[in-house]
Amino acid sequence: MPSDRAPPKGWPVTLQYLPACVYHSSVPPAIRSFIDGAPSRPRGHLHTTPARTCAIRAISTPSHPAHGQRGLFALGTIAARTLIVEYVGEIHCDARAESDYDLSLHRLADGTSVGVDAQRMGNEARFVNDFRGIRAKPNAEFGERRTAAGALRMGVWSLSERIKKGEEIVVSYGKAWWQTRGLSDARAAAWASEGLVGAR
Ligand SMILES: C[S@@+](CC[C@H](N)C(=O)[O-])C[C@H]1O[C@@H](n2cnc3c(N)ncnc32)[C@H](O)[C@@H]1O
Ligand 1 neighbour 70 (Cβ under 6 A): yes
Residues 1-34 pLDDT 10s: 344 578 999 999 999 999 999 999 999 999 999 9
Q: Does the pLDDT of residue 193 top 50, yes or no?
A: yes
178 lines ligand 1 (CB under 6 A): no
DSSP conformational letter for 50? P
CA of 129 to the centre of ligand 1 (A): 5
Q: What percent of the chain has pLDDT over 70?
A: 87
Delineate the domains of the chain, giving CATH numbers in brackets. Answer: 16-174 (2.170.270.10)
**Ligand 1 neighbourhood includes 101 CB (under 6 angstroms):** yes
User: Using an 8 Å Cβ cutoff, are 197 and 173 in contact?
Assistant: no
pLDDT tens digits for 110-128? 999 999 999 999 999 999 9
Residue 92 near ligand 1, beta carbon < 6 Å: no
Residue 182: burial class (beta carbons within 10 Å; 0-12, 13-18, 19+): exposed
Looking at residue 46, its pLDDT comes to 42
Separation CA 34–CA 28 (nearest Å): 10
Residue 47 contacts by C-beta under 8 Å, 6 or more apart in sequence?
A: 1, 2, 3, 19, 20
pLDDT tens sequence across 137-164:
999 999 999 999 999 999 999 999 999 9
Tell me the ipTM for this assembly. 0.99
> Across residues 25-45, what is the average pLDDT?
80
How many alpha carbons fall within 13 Å on the CB side of residue 198? 7
